[in-house]
Amino acid sequence: MKHTEVNFEQFPRHVREHLVPTYEGDVVYECIGCAATYHLNQFLYTCPACKSLLRLHDRKFDELKKIDGATWRDIFDYRLMLRLEPLKGIFLFKEILFPSIPLQDIIYLGEGHTPLVRSNAALSGLVGMEFFVKNDGLNPSASFKDRGMASAISFINYSIRKRNIKELLGICASTGDTSAAAALYLSYLDKNIVRSVVLLPKGKVTPQQLAQPLGSGATVIEVPGVFDDCMRIVEQLAERYQVCLLNSKNPIRIMGQKSYAFEVAQQLGYDTKDLTVVVPVGNAGNVTAIMEGFLDLYRLSIIAHLPQIVAVQSRHANPVAAWRASGRYEPMTVQSSVAQAAMIGDPVSFPKVKKLVEEYFNQQFFAVDLSEQEVIEGMLEANRRGHVVCTQGGESIAGLAKAVKLGIVAKDRTVVVDSTSHQLKFSNFQQMYFENSFPAEYQITAKPELVNKPVQLEASADAIAGYLKLKEK
Ligand code: F0G
């Protein structure tokens, strides 16, 4: 294929041989509890020996240190100029993301490389400092989940070919976005082999999020309860039946989501001194991946400093913030939250967060929690000033404002706020605010100055000009 040919001559000598990755590593599942390792020729989610969570570990990772940090930075930067489809998305960082997948098996649907959008003066004033929103709503299924799904589905694609799999059922529990991403990416694979099933808590995903897996042709199963109930069910199914679990409990999802950290570093010219990343936390897969990603970069001297991490939760689902405040972790029963995608009382990846914080981020990991009013107004205020953030993005922005107020984040830092999905997915909560119709449990009262409604006028220029009080030329 002509358009994918690489003219190596146009690149500096020191990056030429590395531009198209050949390093395969030696990636295995590794238990975070007993450190047992398992071959990748199977789908595994917990350690068969001790039941702890698994992570992926490249046993040859130290070989990557033969290339110095500055050269790695150049490799990743020059790679942006290539026209090789498999490297266009999150696999730009293939060596540190998931080296063992051959390029031919990578599925690319346009994920990754989402923009950093600077806050304007008015929004900076409200929050207390200038910051960037990294807008992960601008992914194919409109959330950051596409990052992890691109790695998981590429691995499935590779496994189908390598292991000659004839039948595969991909399944996940979801608060809405994982299911949208899983259904989208699975729908790209051969339907004669792959079936796609999503399990949703009935009435607890938005209409747009429900429409997504339906549109992708997945089997959508709604059950009573909340996300935590759905998660328990898919965990049991994955334990007992031959299904491929696509929640972030699957460590291959985490591999892809590390790309968020890689991109933030790249977009900031790899200068992570004084960097703070603000992340909304639900099942805790994302914050795990972000910490792991920065750690990989740090180990290879691609960056010189680990960032400060600020985790944000609604008080209606705040087990991580409560743990950080009290030192004790307890699963909780969640209450209704506009940050509905993060409405999780017992985050599956919490043991990974705890370990990463204890081992590497202890001085640099903070958590804040917020009222529902603060969360929704974080979204509305941002979207009135040039952004398209979801309620979880609003949670991040309001969380930053609180962290600034509490003195957790100094005003001279470089701050990147994670907006994890697109505004449009959560327009039902915007609507409830504009109609001041939130059920009592949310404890949200609309402020008139933030309410906006359509105006009904007759179809005439005069009527509209009169309403707008336009001056004649
Ligand atoms: N923001 C959005 C938009 C989400 O969809 C989620 C999680 C989070 C934040 C929290 O991220 O779970 O990695 O801590 N949604 C999952 C789902 C649970 O099923 O879509 P997390």
pLDDT tens digits, one per residue of 414-465? 999 999 999 999 999 999 999 999 999 999 999 999 999 999 999 999 999 9
Q: How many residues does the chain have?
A: 473
Q: 395, 280 in Cβ contact below 8 A? A: yes
Q: 117, 386 in Cβ contact below 8 A? A: yes
Interstrand relation of 132-135 and 414-419 (parallel, antiparallel or unpaired)? parallel
Q: At what angle do helices 391-405 and 372-383 cross, to 10 degrees?
A: 110
Residue 85 in this model has a pLDDT that exceeds 60 = yes
Would you place residue 5 in the very low, low, confident or very high pLDDT band (cuts 50, 70, 90)? confident
Rounded Cα gap, residues 253 and 256, in angstroms: 5
Cα Rg of the chain (Å, integer):
23
Pick from 53, 114, 136, 143 the residue to mutate for probing ligand 1's pocket: most ligand atoms within 8 Å of its CB.
Answer: 143
The mean pLDDT of 243-247, rounded to a whole number, is 97
The mean pLDDT of 70-91, rounded to a whole number, is 97
Residue 107 in this model has a pLDDT that exceeds 90 = yes
Rounded Cα gap, residues 339 and 125, in angstroms: 24
The mean pLDDT of 314-343, rounded to a whole number, is 98
Considering the domain 116-142+254-450 in this protein, what is its CATH number? 3.40.50.1100
Q: What is the DSSP code (8-state) at residue 421?
A: B
Q: What is the DSSP code (8-state) at residue 115?
A: P
User: Which atom, in ligand 1's list, is nearest to the CA of 283?
Assistant: 12
Pick from 392, 397, 427 the residue to mutate for probing ligand 1's pocket: most ligand atoms within 8 Å of its CB.
Answer: 392
Q: Which helix (H) or strand (E) holds 72?
A: helix 69-79
Residues β-bridged to residue 370: 314
Residue 1 in this model has a pLDDT that exceeds 60 = no
pLDDT number for residue 151: 98
Count the neighbouring beta carbons within 10 Å of the beta carbon of residue 121.
Answer: 9
Interstrand relation of 37-38 and 27-31 (parallel, antiparallel or unpaired)? antiparallel
State whether the beta carbon of 421 lies less than 6 angstroms from ligand 1.
yes
Rounded Cα gap, residues 176 and 214, in angstroms: 12
Domain ranges of the chain: 116-142+254-450
Side-by-side strand order, sheet with 414-419: 116-118, 132-135, 414-419, 275-280, 308-314, 365-370
Would you place residue 194 in the very low, low, confident or very high pLDDT band (cuts 50, 70, 90)? very high
Would you place residue 212 in the very low, low, confident or very high pLDDT band (cuts 50, 70, 90)? very high
State whether the beta carbon of 174 lies less than 6 angstroms from ligand 1.
yes
Short-list 117, 113, 114, CA closest to 397: 117
Would you place residue 2 in the very low, low, confident or very high pLDDT band (cuts 50, 70, 90)? low
User: Which regions of 337-412 does DSSP assign to beta strands (E)?
Assistant: 365-370
Nearest CA to ligand 1 atom 4: 341
Short-list 429, 434, 211, CA closest to 337: 429
pLDDT tens-digit map of 359-384 = 999 999 999 999 999 999 999 999 99
The mean pLDDT of 293-311, rounded to a whole number, is 98
pLDDT tens-digit map of 49-70 = 999 999 999 999 999 999 999 9
State whether the beta carbon of 337 lies less than 6 angstroms from ligand 1.
no
Rounded Cα gap, residues 362 and 426, in angstroms: 33
pLDDT number for residue 3: 64
Q: Show the CA angle centred on residue 210, arms to residues 208 and 213, nearest 5°.
A: 110
The mean pLDDT of 168-197, rounded to a whole number, is 98
Going from the C-alpha of 455 to that of each of 15, 256, 434, 463, 464, the distances in angstroms are 58, 44, 13, 12, 10
Pick from 286, 343, 419 the residue to mutate for probing ligand 1's pocket: most ligand atoms within 8 Å of its CB.
Answer: 286
pLDDT number for residue 162: 97
- CB-based contacts of 309: which residues, under 8 Å, 6+ apart? 276, 277, 279, 287, 290, 291, 361, 364, 365, 366
DSSP class per residue in 306-350:
PPEEEEEEETTS-HHHHHHHHS----------SSGGG--SS-TTH
User: Which atom, in ligand 1's list, is nearest to the CA of 392?
Assistant: 1
Measure 4 CA to ligand 1 centroid, in angstroms: 35
Residue 4 in this model has a pLDDT that exceeds 90 = no
Rounded Cα gap, residues 114 and 292, in angstroms: 19
Measure 70 CA to ligand 1 centroid, in angstroms: 34
Would you place residue 6 in the very low, low, confident or very high pLDDT band (cuts 50, 70, 90)? confident
The sign of the CA dihedral 34, 289, 349, 234 is negative
Q: Is 56 helix (H, G, I), strand (E, B) or coil?
A: strand
